[in-house]
């Protein structure tokens, strides 16, 4: 009988560890890190802004062009929604005090974000920055440096 105790103990510990891994995966932020803007389409117009970096950490974000911060705030993700959603609460910058609703996905090695204009009350239904869509489509690559 005593030799079953170690097996039971191993199974119990394994179950606890797997539960902890599930909880960690649940709390994992897929946007964490620094992202370089590859392209940006705003209501049908291409905006190639060099040196634009989005940094995300612990539910907060900061957008910089070169050394100049242009916006910051908090974000909340819903990875279970279809498409996945992101809500911004802008706390710094020209749109301070506004909320912005968007959707996101990973496509190959890029993060794709699509936002309605700040203060709009609806979120995009598809990934488009087409003319008259009042949407912003951004493609980003993970920064390696």
Residue-by-residue DSSP string for 24-76: HHHH--TT-EEEEEEEEEETTEE---TTEEEEEETTEEEEEETTEEEEEEEEE
Provide the mean pLDDT of the chain: 84
Query: Whole-angstrom Cα distance, residue 101 to residue 121?
Result: 8
**pLDDT tier at 75, thresholds 50, 70, 90:** very high
- pTM (2 d.p.): 0.79
SS3 23: helix
Kindly report the number of other CB atoms within 10 A of residue 37's CB atom. 21
Total domains present in the chain: 2
- Tens digits of per-residue pLDDT, 15-39? 333 443 333 344 589 999 999 999 9
15 and 43 in a common domain: no
Query: Whole-angstrom Cα distance, residue 49 to residue 36?
Result: 10
38 and 21 in a common domain: no
Which of left, alpha, beta for 19 (phi over 0: left; psi -120 to 50: alpha)? alpha
| Parent domain of 95 | 33-142
3 and 56 in a common domain: no
119 and 60 in a common domain: yes
């Amino acid at each position: 009988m005593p030799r079953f105790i170690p097996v039971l103990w191993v199974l119990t510990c394994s179950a606890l560890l797997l539960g902890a891994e599930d909880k960690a995966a649940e709390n994992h932020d897929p946007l964490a890190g620094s992202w370089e803007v590859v392209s940006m389409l705003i209501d049908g117009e291409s905006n190639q802004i060099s040196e634009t970096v989005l940094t995300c950490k612990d539910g907060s974000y900061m957008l910089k062009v070169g050394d100049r911060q242009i916006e910051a705030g908090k974000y909340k993700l819903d990875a279970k929604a279809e498409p996945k959603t992101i809500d911004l609460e802008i706390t710094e910058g020209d749109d301070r005090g506004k909320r912005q609703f968007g959707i996101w996905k990973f496509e190959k090695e890029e993060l794709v974000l699509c936002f309605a204009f700040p203060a709009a009350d609806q979120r995009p239904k598809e990934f488009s920055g087409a003319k008259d869509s009042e949407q912003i489509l951004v493609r980003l690559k993970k920064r390696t440096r």
